[in-house]
Amino acid sequence: MFWQEEQDEERFVVPDNVLDLLFKINCPTLPIDHAWALSQAIQQALPWFADEPNAGLHLIYGADSGNGWERPSGGDQLLYLSRRTPLTLRLPNSRIEDAQVLSGQTLDIDGHTLEIGKSHTRLLGMTTTLYCRHLLASENQSEDEFLQQSVNQLKALNLSFKKVLCGKGEQFETPEGPLITQSLMVAGLPLDDAVTLQEEGLGPLRTRGFGLFNPHKTV
Hey, what domains does the chain have and what are their CATH numbers? 18-123 (3.30.70.1890), 130-215 (3.30.70.1210)
Give the up-direction half-sphere exposure of residue 217: CA atoms within 13 A in the CB hemisphere. Answer: 0
Task: Specify which residues 22 forms β-bridges with.
Answer: 88, 120
Q: Report the C-alpha gap between 144 and 93 in whole angstroms.
A: 37
CA–CA distance, 73 with 94 (Å, rounded to integer): 37
Residue 9 is predicted with a pLDDT of 64
Please, what sign has the CA dihedral across residues 49, 51, 164, 193? negative
Measured between alpha carbons, how far is residue 214 from residues 51, 119, 130, 210 in Å?
22, 19, 5, 12
Are 174 and 110 in contact, with CB atoms under 8 Å apart? no
Do the Cβ atoms of 91 and 54 come closer than 8 Å? yes
Distance CA 67, CA 159 (A): 35
At residue 3, the pLDDT reads 39
Low-confidence ranges of the chain (pLDDT < 70): 1-10, 63-76, 217-219
Query: What pLDDT sits at residue 24?
Result: 97
Distance CA 162, CA 190 (A): 10
DSSP class of residue 68 equals: T
* Structure confidence at residue 77 (pLDDT): 84
Q: Three-state DSSP class for 177?
A: coil
User: What pLDDT digit, counting tens, does each position of 128-156 carry?
Assistant: 999 999 999 998 899 999 999 999 999 99
3-state secondary structure of 135: strand
Question: CA-based Rg of the chain, rounded to a whole angstrom?
Answer: 18
Q: How, if at all, do strands 106-109 and 78-80 pair?
A: unpaired
Rounded distance between C-alpha atoms, residue 64 and residue 52, angstroms = 33
**The pLDDT of residue 67:** 39
- Cα distance between residue 84 and residue 68, in whole Å: 16
Q: How confident is the model at residue 66, as a pLDDT?
A: 39
State the pLDDT at residue 69.
Answer: 40
